[in-house]
């Protein structure tokens, strides 16, 4: 039987966040140990920490929130491709993989060589360039995911990448853990919290490789 592989990162205090975003904290609000009838925890975190889905509202003024992101774009057949040895993924690297209309495409990069979510933020992570984003839009790709905290770079180009994708209704999944995911066709399940007004939301993502993988 084909097994499901969890491709979301663990969430907990001390995990890597985007510079300037709130650090994640998890604290006990009620405790059996102190006389309460049950344990209740509370969490504080950025909606763009760990594995998460970006909504158009993240970068598009007046864009839809995460409740308006198409569920169909996050469920169904997907393809995992490998782009290694390069930090700035450009149009040629994308075109080499022949992206298809309506495709859900997950990119495995050198980010997957380490557990980046446990390490200090590294601005040299692998990401798309604006021209790569434009090629994905031109190809009609429905969903794009990457194994790093952001689909775009840590500079102005990163803003452009997000705007190109989100303004064209390409669903963006960031923060995937693809180290154990085989390349090729798979089934994808990625469900973000239904967070009203959210410009993004944490998500649990799983893939099940196709028989041929």
For the chain, the domains span 47-209
Angstrom distance (rounded) from CA 90 to CA 135: 9
**Which residues are within 8 A (CB) of 93 and not within 5 positions of it... i.e. 6 or more apart?**
83, 86, 132
Phi, psi (rounded to 5 degrees) for 189: -130, 120
pLDDT at 105: 99
List, in sequence order, every beta strand (DSSP E) within 150-196: 171-174, 184-192
Q: Which fold has domain 47-209?
A: Glucose Oxidase; domain 1 (3.50.30)
Catalytic residues: 58
pLDDT at 212: 60
Angstrom distance (rounded) from CA 115 to CA 148: 10
pLDDT at 46: 98
The model's pTM is: 0.96
Ranges of the chain whose pLDDT falls below 50: none
- The size of the chain, in residues, is 213
Q: Report which of 153, 166, 158, 180 is spatially closest to residue 70, judged by C-alpha positions.
A: 166
Angstrom distance (rounded) from CA 87 to CA 135: 17
Tokens coding 67: 């409740």
Q: Report which of 41, 40, 16 is spatially closest to residue 26, judged by C-alpha positions.
A: 41
């Amino acid at each position: 039987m084909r097994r499901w592989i969890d491709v979301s990162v663990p969430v907990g205090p001390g995990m890597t966040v985007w510079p300037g975003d709130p650090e994640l904290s998890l604290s006990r609000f009620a405790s059996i140990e102190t006389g309460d009838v049950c344990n209740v925890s509370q969490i504080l975190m950025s909606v763009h920490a760990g594995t998460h889905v970006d909504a158009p509202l993240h970068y598009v003024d007046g864009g839809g929130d995460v409740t308006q992101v198409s569920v169909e774009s996050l469920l169904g057949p997907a393809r995992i491709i490998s782009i290694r040895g390069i930090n700035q993924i450009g149009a040629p690297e994308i075109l080499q993989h022949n992206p298809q209309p309506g495709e859900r495409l997950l990119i495995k990069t050198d980010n997957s060589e380490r557990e980046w979510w446990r390490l200090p933020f590294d601005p040299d992570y692998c990401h798309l360039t604006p021209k790569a984003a434009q090629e994905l839009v031109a190809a009609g790709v429905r969903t794009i995911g990457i194994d790093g905290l952001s689909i775009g770079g840590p500079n102005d180009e990163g803003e452009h990448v997000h705007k190109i994708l989100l303004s064209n209704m390409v669903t963006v999944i960031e923060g995937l853990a693809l180290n154990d995911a085989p390349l090729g066709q798979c089934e994808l399940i990625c469900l973000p919290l239904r967070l009203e007004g959210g410009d993004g939301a944490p998500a649990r993502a799983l893939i099940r490789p196709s028989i041929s993988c």
